[in-house]
Structure 1
Amino acid sequence: MVPFSFAGQEWRLVPGNERSWAVYWPAENALLVADLHLEKASAFARHGQFLPPYDSRETLGRLAEALRRTGARRVFCLGDNFHDSQGPGRIDRHAAGMLAALTRATDWVWITGNHDPAIAAAEAEWGGTVVDSLAVGGVHLRHQAGAQEGAGGAAAGPELSGHFHPKLRVRVRGRSIARPCAVRSDHRLILPAFGAFTGGMDAADPAILAAVQPARAVDAVLAAGDRLVEYPLWRG
C-alpha cells in the first residue's frame, strides 16, 4: 500500500493489479472502490458482442484481496457497481456467492451511479445499504463529482467520487503508457475504476479538470511499486 495525503488526512492506494486501484481510509478503517461495473461482459453479450463472462468473479476476487491486505471493516462502493440495472439478475451463482460473502463480512454501502440507479434490489439480495450519497467523517462520498460549492466559490467540503475512470497517459521513450490513477485537487478526489472490464478517460481531459474545480492545482496520483507518483495535470 502506498500512502498519500488528501483533505488533511492520510489515505493509501491499494492495488487490485496494475489496472485497478482501491483507496484505504485508515481513519475509518474503510476501503473505497469506484466503478466495479459488475456484469459488463454479460451486458455486451445481450447485444451480440460475446466476451468471457468472468469479469465479475475477477473484480470481486481483487476486492476480497484488497480487504485481506487492509483489514478494512467497511466498504464504500462509489457507484456504477453493476454495468446496468439488470446486472444483479444476470450474475452467476459463483460470483453471487462471492459478493454475498463480502457483504456479510463488512459494513457495506452501495452508492448509486448513472449505470445502476435501480440497484436498490441489491440490498435485499446481498445485503449492505443503498444510498445516493453520504457524508462520513466530514468527507462527502458520491458517484460523480458535482458543483458542491459554498459561498465565495469555496468547496463545501472534501469529496470522493468515481465515474470518470481516470488514467494517466504519458510517453516514455517513444511509447505511450496508460495507468489508472486518482485525480486530486484541493477538495476533490476522483478514484480510478476498479472493475476488471472498464475503459478509461485521460486524467487531463477537460471534463475531469472541470469536475474537480475550484482548485489551485490538480494532480494525478498513482503508485509505481511502493512509491507514490504525483503528476501535475493543471495549475491555476
Structure 2
Amino acid sequence: MNRLSFDFRGEHLEALGSGALHWPARSVLVVSDLHLGKCARLSATGGAALPPYDARETLGRLERDIAATSPAHVICLGDSFDTADIRAHLPMEERSRIADLAGARRWTWIEGNHDPGTAGLGGETRADLGLGPLTFRHIARPDPGGEISGHYHPKARLALRGRMISRPCFLLDAERLILPAYGAYTGGLRTDSPTLSDLMAPDAHAILCGPKPVRIPMPRAAVQARTGT
C-alpha cells in the first residue's frame, strides 16, 4: 500500500494514497466526507444525473484500506452520508455492506453538516472524539490544539511537466490536520482559496493523494503568482 509517514502532535501517522489516515499505534483508520448516496439523492431530487456507483466505489476503496491496515477502530469524520435521510437513497446492498463493516470493529460516525444524528447502520455517533493528544471533528475550529477534521475537501493545484494538475490532499501544520474527501464524485476546495489559506499556518504542508503520496509546501495564491503557475 502506498503511504507517507509523518509526525503530528507527537504521534506517528500515515497518509494513504487513497485519502485515508492510519494511526498505527492506536490501530485507527480515519476517513472523511464519504458522501455516500450523493448520486442517488441527486437523481431522486431532480439534480444532475450521475451514474449511481459512487457508494459502491467508495465502499470498495474503504474495504481495501481496512483489509490492508486491519484497524481495531474506524473513524468517519462527518458527511459520511450525503443526507440525513440516507435509507431513502442507498440501496439495501450498500446499507448491508456498511452495517457489516461497522459491526466488525469499533466504528465512530462523527456528525457532519450533511448527516447530523445517526444513520442507524451500526457504530456510535459523536459530535467529536478525543483520543490521546488528538481530537477528531468534522469542521475545523479557530483553536485546534491537535485537531483532525475534514469538511473542506482540500485539493492542490500545481504545475507538473508543463501542465496544471489538481490532486486531493491532506493539509498539515503544527496544530491541525485536514483530510481530503474520501468519497467518489466529490468536489473540492483549492488550497489557494482564502478560506484554506487563512485557516492554515504560513508553514503548512500539503500531502498529495495518489499512487505515491508526496509532501510539498501548501500551494497558495501568493506562491502561484510569484512563480507564474
CA contact (8 A) 2:157 2:166 kept: yes
In the other structure, the counterpart of 1:67 is 66
In the other structure, the counterpart of 1:6 is 8
In the other structure, the counterpart of 2:51 is 52
| CA-CA distance at 1:233 after TM superposition | 3.7
- In 2: Cα distance, 1:227 partner to 1:77 partner: 21
- Is 1:222 the equivalent of 2:224? no
| CA-CA distance at 1:97 after TM superposition | 1.4
| Cα distance change on mapping 1:216 and 1:202 into 2, 3 Å | closer
CA contact (8 A) 1:110 1:131 kept: yes
In the other structure, the counterpart of 1:82 is 81
In the other structure, the counterpart of 1:152 is none
- In 1: Cα distance, 2:140 partner to 2:213 partner: 27
SS of equivalent residue, structure 2 residue 49: coil
In the other structure, the counterpart of 1:115 is 114
| CA-CA distance at 1:176 after TM superposition | 1.3
In the other structure, the counterpart of 1:200 is 188
* Aligned residue pair count: 218
- In 2: Cα distance, 1:145 partner to 1:116 partner: 17
In the other structure, the counterpart of 1:36 is 34
SS of equivalent residue, structure 2 residue 13: strand
Where structure 2 has 5 or more consecutive residues not aligned to the other structure, the ranges are 223-229
Q: Percent identity?
A: 39
Q: Deviations over 1:83-138 (max 9, x none)?
A: 11122332101111110110011200000111111x32x2xx32100011121112
SS of equivalent residue, structure 2 residue 155: strand
CA contact (8 A) 2:17 2:212 kept: no
SS of equivalent residue, structure 1 residue 126: coil
Match of 1:211 among 166, 178, 199: 199
- In 1: Cα distance, 2:208 partner to 2:11 partner: 17
| CA-CA distance at 1:209 after TM superposition | 2.5
| Cα distance change on mapping 1:218 and 1:53 into 2, 3 Å | same
| CA-CA distance at 1:228 after TM superposition | 3.3
CA contact (8 A) 2:168 2:209 kept: no
| CA-CA distance at 1:224 after TM superposition | 5.9
Richer in strand (by share): 1
TM-score, normalised on structure 2? Answer: 0.89
- In 2: Cα distance, 1:88 partner to 1:224 partner: 32
C-alpha RMSD of matched pairs (Å)? 1.8
| CA-CA distance at 1:31 after TM superposition | 0.4
Output the amino acid matched with 1:208. L
Q: Deviations over 1:134-154 (max 9, x none)?
A: 211121110000122xxxxxx
Stretch deviating more after TM superposition (106-115 or 4-13)? 4-13
- Is 1:159 the equivalent of 2:161? no
